[in-house]
Structure 1
């Protein structure tokens, strides 16, 4: 693996630290001026927000604060002076956002109402929060008021606990934020062990994964349940990597991964790679079944126990079908569907291509996941040839040891699986980019290709939860489709270039 650059100078690091802190403070001010407060409706357009009494100050603080936070994070993407420095700075940036009102999204109110629904004896997978009679329904974004909960029983139970202990909407939101921060703390605890296993400097991995603007704005201030999923996911991966082949460890790791799935189902794509991480010796089909069986046992036990004890069963699986009700060009399949519809309209047709393209993308996702897993499996099966392992994982190290290569191969495969899930999903929200971010921070040799999209995504939402993609539907869809075509051509040209010398020889 290519080592990151040398640590930045003290003046550069200090400037980045306090520029980011200033950005976090400005974002907090923007949140109080025009954040996603319960009695504040979504803005119709950015222009209408600008015309409100606090609109100019809100948007100015928001944009300048985001720019400062993104710039500071970007400037140290190659690594910070030390691991401790990275943790302290990430925590320092989070402090203002801990006391900020919800911003960037109104999902925390959906969580609160879903928890209220369950706490009052109504199945949140059967009815929407409006039909259930949630007293805080006016704070929920209109598109989600009539849809069942798409989250697993573990998070519904956590939301109901927050409602019970919170006593009201404000207390519930505070406790939901505490739960999200607890998930982030678990992820922060797991990062050093995973970084050492993958052979990556912890100072770089911790900085990329914890100080990212999306983490502070959406996982801390926005209290998104993605933080809980990530904490459980990294905990399960760390356990299975540290104690491969040990049945008890595999069972516990499977249980943690199962809990992650019952918070957010997208975590399931990491499970097949965790099975590979749990194999300590030779990579044979027999070993795969034996060790994979232990991990699968822990996972299914977690699913069955939580679904049974909560009394909710597996109704949450049906709720997943409503996650695509929102149509925005930030999802590549949706953008392509929009462009096809626009082209059809030019010739007097109405193809209604969005559902079709989305379905094709999901089928493509299944294929990509299979290929990624098979690639990792093939790399590990051929790991007796150290050079082959090094080449497959992208390293330029001769004589790489098998045990040192195993975690990186597995973690990088899991990271790419999450990237594919985000890219090919029917809907994309900015905080979805945090799913693969932590694993890419642990494994990627080059950082720009994933740090840049995360930086761009930080500018997509306004403090009241308005998504700028709503107002740029046509140009955004065309731009996203053009970007996809460009990237496809680049990838095909690189593949042809790599195969050229091989075929000639």
Structure 2
């Protein structure tokens, strides 16, 4: 089946620009793999270093040079084809080609994989990872874990704790455990890659563009693959559940299976929960009424609840993982907009001899705003799909003529997936903390629905430069200027929104 909306593929050969992008990205991936071998997030690498101290090490200049040039090449190649590649097969082949050097590289860009390993070790040795940190549990690999997370309970769901424990059991030592955890990340990405074409066709976007944006980005290769982040597992399960929903709406058994998949995604990372209300909209077949939503959404909710209860019972940890979520915000970085604004308020207070301690207040306000925004996004999606009696759309189209039922039925996956993508984007922006790999959450869904891509591709590209190969977060060394710049950007965006004249299309409307 051809890509909907895709331009005809060239009859002979690959365009020179696409060929140049493919090999520029491959060169970038190779350089990043070299940087990982020279100074990546190795178990015995020194912790608490700065860019200057890395530069003074024997391989430091080469490490930083390979990281900077490699990231620039990978970002540039991805950006150059953001509007579409020659074909879907070409996009998959190129993404796989770029992944090969990173697949055999040491952990890169983060030390979280060692936290996963220690949490799995703690569980297999009888400790409750939701009650004690990995240091208190006695993990033998604790020196490889970033200091900030050594005394913090696990913020992940029970399904991932079981996966980490399985990795420890199968892998034996630390190296084997890392290999198994990376294999889990690869499996998650392969599952996502399998689901993307079906979701793209359901949403009416070219599969070649969706696959490229979602799979070939530098954050995917560096953090989800080389860094072995559990976000890859979450995204694979999330997209699989959504694919079942859009393929088999209104059918009890498929919706139950979809709920199980979505529930497993939530039991990896709880942030996936914001997608569930929009999945319920996609589950309705026919008229979008309250009764239909309760009926079809009920099967979906039943599957989600069954997965969560089963994982909690199977792990023997109960609901203790819910309490662990409160510790995920222990880190304070200006890359989170609410935290950045809180920093600036504290700086302003210090100038007049006050200590507002605004960060916790702004974080709480942002979470409240997120709750309201999620409700508004869901209500707008519901209104877009809701139909009045008589089989016609409840809202008139641009020509003031009500659209036929078939149009609304075709719009169902697109509207629901777009709402889910915007919900994940809002979650990332308003969360207390932001790490570069968080940008992959909305990226995967917005690639399936957005008509304009620059507004979310640019932040994802910039986020690729935030971490050094050994996991050092550059945001730590630009706290004040970074907070001021991000706060100024927030103010500018708010002013643009408040001064928007009615009748002109807003950016969100164009998306």
Q: SS of 1:174's equivalent?
A: helix
CA drift of 1:42 comes to: 2.8
- Distance across 2 between alignment mates of 1:389 and 1:200: 23
1:251 equivalent in alignment to 2:251: no
Report if aligned partners of 1:389, 1:400 keep a CA contact under 8 Å in 2.
no
Instruction: Give the number of equivalent residue pairs.
Output: 495
After TM superposition, list the pairs within 5 Å mapping 1:29-178 onto structure 2. 29-178=34-183
Q: Which residue of the other structure, out of 435, 441, 455, is the alignment partner of 2:441?
A: 435
2:342 maps to which residue? Answer: 337
- Distance across 2 between alignment mates of 1:35 and 1:100: 9
CA drift of 1:415 comes to: 0.3
1:349 maps to which residue? Answer: 354
1:503 maps to which residue? Answer: none
1:267 maps to which residue? Answer: 272
Q: Which residue of the other structure, out of 416, 420, 428, is the alignment partner of 1:414?
A: 420
- Distance across 2 between alignment mates of 1:78 and 1:491: 27
CA drift of 1:288 comes to: 1.0
- Distance across 2 between alignment mates of 1:429 and 1:390: 40
1:19 equivalent in alignment to 2:24: yes
After TM superposition, list the pairs within 5 Å mapping 1:189-204 onto structure 2. 189-204=194-209
| CA offsets 1:53-110 (integer angstroms, 9 cap, x no match) | 1110000000000000000000000000000000000000000000000010000000
| CA offsets 1:345-403 (integer angstroms, 9 cap, x no match) | 000000000000000000000000000000000000048656948669xxxx9998122
- Distance across 1 between alignment mates of 2:354 and 2:211: 51
1:472 equivalent in alignment to 2:478: yes
| CA offsets 1:11-56 (integer angstroms, 9 cap, x no match) | 0010000000000000000001000000002352111111111110
2:455 maps to which residue? Answer: 449
- Distance across 1 between alignment mates of 2:187 and 2:130: 26
Report if aligned partners of 2:392, 2:404 keep a CA contact under 8 Å in 1.
no
Q: Which residue of the other structure, out of 399, 408, 419, is the alignment partner of 1:402?
A: 408
- Distance across 1 between alignment mates of 2:6 and 2:404: 19
Report if aligned partners of 1:43, 1:49 keep a CA contact under 8 Å in 2.
no
CA drift of 1:494 comes to: 2.9
Unmatched 5+ residue regions in structure 1? 501-505
Tell me the C-alpha RMSD between the 2 structures.
1.9
Q: Which residue of the other structure, out of 187, 204, 211, is the alignment partner of 1:182?
A: 187
| CA offsets 1:447-469 (integer angstroms, 9 cap, x no match) | 11100000000000000000000
- Distance across 1 between alignment mates of 2:36 and 2:15: 32
Report if aligned partners of 2:142, 2:150 keep a CA contact under 8 Å in 1.
yes
Report if aligned partners of 1:5, 1:78 keep a CA contact under 8 Å in 2.
no
Q: Identify if the C-alpha distance between structure 1 residues 142 and 492 changes in structure 2 by more than 3 Å, giving closer, same or farther.
A: same
| CA offsets 1:310-336 (integer angstroms, 9 cap, x no match) | 101111111111100000000000000
1:28 equivalent in alignment to 2:36: no
Q: SS of 2:504's equivalent?
A: helix
The two structures have a TM-score, normalised by structure 1, of: 0.95
Report if aligned partners of 1:275, 1:291 keep a CA contact under 8 Å in 2.
yes
Report if aligned partners of 2:386, 2:393 keep a CA contact under 8 Å in 1.
no
- Distance across 1 between alignment mates of 2:55 and 2:305: 50
1:299 maps to which residue? Answer: 304
1:281 equivalent in alignment to 2:286: yes
1:226 equivalent in alignment to 2:224: no
- Distance across 2 between alignment mates of 1:373 and 1:387: 16
Q: SS of 1:498's equivalent?
A: coil
Report if aligned partners of 1:379, 1:389 keep a CA contact under 8 Å in 2.
no
Report if aligned partners of 1:90, 1:207 keep a CA contact under 8 Å in 2.
yes
The two structures have a TM-score, normalised by structure 2, of: 0.94
Q: SS of 2:333's equivalent?
A: coil
1:459 maps to which residue? Answer: 465
CA drift of 1:475 comes to: 0.3
